[in-house]
């Protein structure tokens, strides 16, 4: 309210000065610039009474003209001195620079509050960016795993179709009932694989769309963080994190033990090929390749990797960092295989 009253008084003086070509009457200056309490005090002091009012109840609009009409030089000087007295309201004289009030440390300035808000917003966006990056990384790993599974299933489906065609070619030489049953079973398995591949294709498309949305969100967050960090002072800017260590790019050398070759007896050639491909893929790509699902088995220094849906390759690590491939076995026989490997 004080600022608004001061604006109104200033505007009143300006309008009057414009109308009067820069001339302002003493009564108006007294009314606008001098506090009412001082006008009443001086009126009592020099014995001036406004018409129609008691001095204690008179408004400034009645006191100011009465004081400006004083005829005695001494009284008029006393009235003029009112214009130069310090005041608590009205248009106050500017105080010296040394007397300017200092902001209280308990009440932060608007700039400090804005700076804190920018820092908090930057931290929030950085956290959201980290979460989006982690989600994108998981989606990429899941997509790679699905792609690897689809490739394996496509190979198995192609193999089944080739087997169906081979059985059809041999149909005259085989008993009709046996040929029909085997062919029907292969057709059923091929149909199931086609349905599973189609479902995985749909899931892969959904993951691709999610990954694209995450990458777009990451770019937006990175842009917002750069804009906020540009607004921060140099001393308040967040230090860049230390560079992450580069992943181990060494190539492992596999040592196939006699037990591995023994476990290949009775296995189809396609299964053996997948096992060898998985071993060499691990040796070149390492533990992080998602399609292999490399993991250490509890309670012993034995590891497993995925060769196909139902096959696992078991290996151990050597002292020099390379690996010894010990066995290829069905996934359902994992407990039996682990017990046998532990007894060696």
Q: Are strands 254-256 and 311-317 parallel, antiparallel or unpaired?
A: unpaired
Render pLDDT for 45-89 as a digit per residue (tens, 0 to 9).
888 878 778 878 888 888 888 887 877 888 778 878 887 775 544
Rounded average pLDDT over 301-317: 90
Residue whose C-alpha is closest to residue 83's, from 26, 143, 25, 10: 26
What is the pLDDT, as a whole number, of residue 140? Answer: 77
Q: Which residue has the higher pLDDT, 22 or 280?
A: 280
What is the pLDDT, as a whole number, of residue 323? Answer: 93
Q: Are 98 and 50 in contact (CB under 8 A)?
A: no
What is the pLDDT, as a whole number, of residue 219? Answer: 84
The SS3 assignment for 268 reads coil
Mean pLDDT of all residues belonging to the chain: 77
Inform me whether the pLDDT recorded for 325 exceeds 90: yes
| Lowest-confidence segment of 218-222, 232-236, 269-273, 289-293 by average pLDDT | 232-236
What is the pLDDT, as a whole number, of residue 110? Answer: 65
Percent pLDDT > 70 in the chain is: 76
User: What CATH homologous superfamily does 254-343 map to?
Assistant: RelE-like (3.30.2310.20)
SS3 annotation, 275-334:
HHHHHHHHHHHCCCCHHHCCEEECCCCEEEEECCCCEEEEEEECCCCCEEEEEEEEHHHH
What is the pLDDT, as a whole number, of residue 98? Answer: 46
Q: What are phi and psi of 95, to 5 degrees?
A: -80, 160
What is the pLDDT, as a whole number, of residue 235? Answer: 63
DSSP designation for 234: G
Inform me whether the pLDDT recorded for 119 exceeds 50: yes
What is the pLDDT, as a whole number, of residue 258? Answer: 92
What is the pLDDT, as a whole number, of residue 275? Answer: 93
What is the pLDDT, as a whole number, of residue 93? Answer: 43
What is the pLDDT, as a whole number, of residue 97? Answer: 44
Q: Name the residue with tokens 């006191």.
A: 63
Q: How many CB atoms lie within 10 A of CB 280?
A: 12
Q: Which residue has the higher pLDDT, 315 or 89?
A: 315
Q: Is the dihedral of CA 135, 154, 307, 196 positive or negative?
A: positive
Inform me whether the pLDDT recorded for 155 exceeds 50: yes
Inform me whether the pLDDT recorded for 306 exceeds 50: yes
Rounded average pLDDT over 102-112: 58
Q: Is the dihedral of CA 254, 258, 262, 263 positive or negative?
A: negative
CB-hemisphere CA count at 13 Å for 217?
Answer: 18
Inform me whether the pLDDT recorded for 195 exceeds 80: yes
Inform me whether the pLDDT recorded for 315 exceeds 90: yes
Render pLDDT for 26-44 as a digit per residue (tens, 0 to 9).
777 777 888 888 888 888 8
The SS3 assignment for 96 reads coil
CB-hemisphere CA count at 13 Å for 143?
Answer: 15
Q: Return the structure tokens found at 127.
A: 């956290």
Rounded average pLDDT over 112-127: 76
What separation in angstroms does the CA of 294 have from each of 96, 101, 142, 278?
A: 77, 69, 15, 10
Distance spanning both ends of the chain, measured CA to CA? 93
CA pair distance 282, 293, nearest whole angstrom: 10
| Lowest-confidence segment of 203-207, 293-297, 316-320, 326-330 by average pLDDT | 203-207
The SS3 assignment for 91 reads coil
Percent pLDDT > 90 in the chain is: 13
CA pair distance 37, 42, nearest whole angstrom: 9
Inform me whether the pLDDT recorded for 334 exceeds 80: yes
Render pLDDT for 220-245 as a digit per residue (tens, 0 to 9).
888 887 777 777 666 665 666 665 55
CA pair distance 37, 82, nearest whole angstrom: 11
């Amino acid at each position: 309210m004080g600022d608004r009253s001061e604006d109104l008084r200033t505007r009143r003086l300006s309008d009057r000065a414009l109308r009067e070509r820069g001339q302002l009457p003493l009564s108006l200056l007294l009314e606008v610039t001098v506090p009412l309490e001082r006008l009443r005090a001086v009126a009592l002091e020099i014995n001036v009474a406004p018409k129609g009012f008691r001095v204690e109840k008179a408004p400034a609009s009645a006191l100011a003209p009465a004081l400006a009409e004083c005829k005695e030089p001494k009284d008029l000087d006393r009235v003029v001195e009112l214009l130069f007295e310090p005041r608590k309201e009205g248009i106050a004289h500017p105080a010296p620079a040394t007397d300017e009030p200092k902001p209280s440390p308990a009440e932060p300035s608007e700039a400090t509050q804005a700076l804190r808000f920018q820092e908090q917003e930057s931290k929030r966006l950085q956290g959201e960016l980290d979460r989006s990056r982690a989600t994108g990384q998981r989606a990429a790993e899941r997509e790679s795993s699905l792609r690897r599974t689809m490739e394996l299933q496509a190979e198995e489906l192609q193999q089944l179709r080739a087997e169906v065609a081979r059985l059809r070619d041999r149909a005259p030489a085989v008993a009709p009932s046996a040929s029909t049953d085997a062919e029907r079973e292969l057709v059923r398995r091929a149909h199931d694989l086609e349905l599973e591949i189609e479902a995985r294709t749909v899931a892969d498309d959904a993951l691709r769309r999610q990954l694209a949305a995450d990458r777009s969100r990451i770019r937006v967050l990175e842009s917002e963080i750069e804009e906020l960090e540009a607004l921060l002072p140099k001393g308040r800017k967040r230090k860049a994190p230390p560079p992450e260590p580069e992943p181990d790019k060494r190539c492992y050398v596999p040592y196939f033990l006699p037990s591995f070759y023994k476990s290949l007896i009775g296995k189809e050639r396609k299964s053996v090929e997948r096992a060898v491909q998985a071993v060499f893929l691990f040796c070149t790509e390492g533990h992080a390749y998602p399609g292999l699902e490399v993991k250490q088995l509890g309670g012993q220094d034995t590891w497993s990797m995925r060769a196909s849906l139902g096959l696992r390759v078991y290996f151990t690590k050597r002292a020099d960092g390379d690996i010894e491939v010990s066995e290829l076995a069905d996934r359902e026989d994992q407990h039996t295989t682990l017990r046998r490997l532990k007894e060696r």
